[in-house]
A and B are shown apart, each in its own frame.
Chain A
Amino acid sequence: MASPTPDFYSLLETLSKYQVDFIIVGGVCGVLHGAPVTTFDLDIVHSRTQENLVRLLSALRELDAYFRGRQDQRLKPKQDHLSSPGHQLLMTRFGPLDLLGTIGTGWSYEDLLEHSDEIKIGKMRLRVLSLEKLIEVKEELGSEKDKAILPILRQTLLEKQKRRGKKK
Chain B
Amino acid sequence: MRLIKTKPPNPLKQSASIKGVPYSESGVDVTLIRWMLSLTPAERLRVLHQTIRSILRLKGGVSNT
Contact = CB atoms under 8 A, between A and B. Distances in A.
Given A9-B45, A40-B52, A35 B27 contact: no
B52 A38 contact: yes
B55 A38 contact: yes
Nearest to A3: B61
Contacts, number: 72
B17 interface: no
A151 B15 CA distance: 21
Contact of B1 (A9, A28, A151): A9
Interface residues of B, number: 29
Interface residues on A, range: 20 to 34
Given A9-B1, A159-B37, 20 more contacts: A2-B61, A5-B52, A8-B48, A9-B49, A31-B44, A32-B41, A34-B33, A34-B44, A35-B36, A36-B32, A36-B33, A38-B55, A119-B41, A121-B41, A151-B26, A155-B24, A156-B36, A156-B37, A158-B24, A159-B33
